[in-house]
A and B are shown apart, each in its own frame.
Chain A
Amino acid sequence: MSATVVRKRSALTKGQLPKFAPYIVLAAALIVGAAILALIGFNAFGWGIVSAILFAVGLVSWSGAVEGARKAKDKLATCLVVGAFLIALLPLISVIVTVLVNGIPGLITPGFLGTSMNGVTGAYDNKAVEEGAPVLGGIYHALLGTIQITLLATVISVPVGLLTSIYLVEYGNDRPLARAITFFVDVMTGIPSIVAGLFAAAFFFAIVGPGTKTGAVAAVALSVLMIPVVVRSSEEMLKIVPNELREASYALGVRKWRTITKVVIPTAISGIASGVTLAIARVIGETAPILVTAGFATTINNNVFGGWMASLPTFIYTQILNPTSPSNPAPSDQRAWGAALVLIILVMLLNLGARLIARLFAPKTGR
Chain B
Amino acid sequence: MSKRIDVKDLNVYYGNFLAVEDVNINIQAKSVTAFIGPSGCGKSTFLRTLNRMHEVLPGARVEGEVLLDGDNLYGPGVDPVTVRTQVGMVFQRPNPFPTMSIRDNVLAGVKLNNKKISKGAADALVEKSLVGANLWNEVKDRLDKPGSGLSGGQQQRLCIARAIAVEPQVILMDEPCSALDPISTLAVEDLINELKDQYTVVIVTHNMQQAARVSDKTAFFNIAGTGKPGKLIEFADTTSIFNNPAQKATEDYVSGRFG
Contact = CB atoms under 8 A, between A and B. Distances in A.
A binds B: yes
Contacts of A254: 81, 108-109, 112-113
A246 B91 CA distance: 12
A245 B162 CA distance: 13
Interface stretch (B123-131, B141-149, B222-230): B141-149
Interface string A225-265: 00000000000000000101111111111110011001100
B98 interface: yes
Interface string B157-174: 001001100100000000
A266 B99 contact: yes
Interface residues of B, number: 33
B224 to A, nearest CB: 29
A253 B53 CA distance: 10
A367 B84 contact: no
A267 B98 contact: yes
B37 interface: no
Contact of A263 (B84, B91, B97, B166): B97
Contact of A253 (B82, B96, B149): B82
A4 interface: no
Contact of B97 (A248, A251, A365): A248
A241 to B, nearest CB: 9
A91 interface: no
A247 B109 contact: no
A163 B58 CA distance: 21
B51 interface: yes
A363 B146 CA distance: 8
Nearest to A251: B89
A248 B109 CA distance: 10
Contacts of B166: 252-253
Contacts of A41: none
B95 A244 contact: yes
Q: Interface size for chain A: under 10, 10 to 19, 20 to 34, or 35 or more residues?
A: 20 to 34
A251 B113 CA distance: 12
B95 A259 contact: no
Interface in B68-110: 81-82, 84-85, 88-89, 91, 93, 95-99, 108-109
Contacts of A366: 145-146, 149
A367 B114 contact: no
Interface string A162-191: 000000000001000000000000000000
A7 interface: no
Contact of A365 (B85, B142, B148): B148
B56 interface: yes
A173 B59 CA distance: 10
A364 interface: yes
Nearest to B84: A253
B146 A365 contact: yes
Contacts of B113: 253-255, 258
Interface string B43-66: 000000001010010100000000
Contacts of B98: 245, 267, 363-364
Interface string A351-367: 00000000000011111
Contact of A258 (B88, B114, B149, B159): B114
Contacts of B163: 251-252
A367 B145 CA distance: 6
B58 A259 contact: no
Interface string A114-157: 00000000000000000000000000000000000000000000
Contacts of A247: 53, 56, 89, 91, 95
Contact of B58 (A173, A245, A263): A173
Contact of B112 (A173, A242, A263, A365): A263
B109 A244 contact: no
Contacts of B95: 242, 244-245, 247-248
B240 to A, nearest CB: 32
A365 B149 contact: yes
Given A173-B58, A242-B95, A245-B95, A252 B108 contact: yes
A270 to B, nearest CB: 10
Contacts of A263: 97, 99, 112
A33 B168 CA distance: 80
Contacts of B162: 248, 252
A366 B113 CA distance: 27
Interface of B: 51, 53, 56, 58, 81-82, 84-85, 88-89, 91, 93, 95-99, 108-109, 111-114, 142, 145-146, 148-150, 159, 162-163, 166
Interface of A: 173, 242, 244-255, 258-259, 262-263, 266-267, 363-367
23 contacts: A245-B97, A247-B89, A248-B95, A248-B96, A248-B97, A248-B162, A250-B84, A251-B89, A251-B163, A252-B163, A252-B166, A253-B84, A255-B81, A258-B114, A262-B112, A263-B99, A263-B112, A267-B99, A363-B148, A364-B98, A367-B145, A367-B149, A367-B150
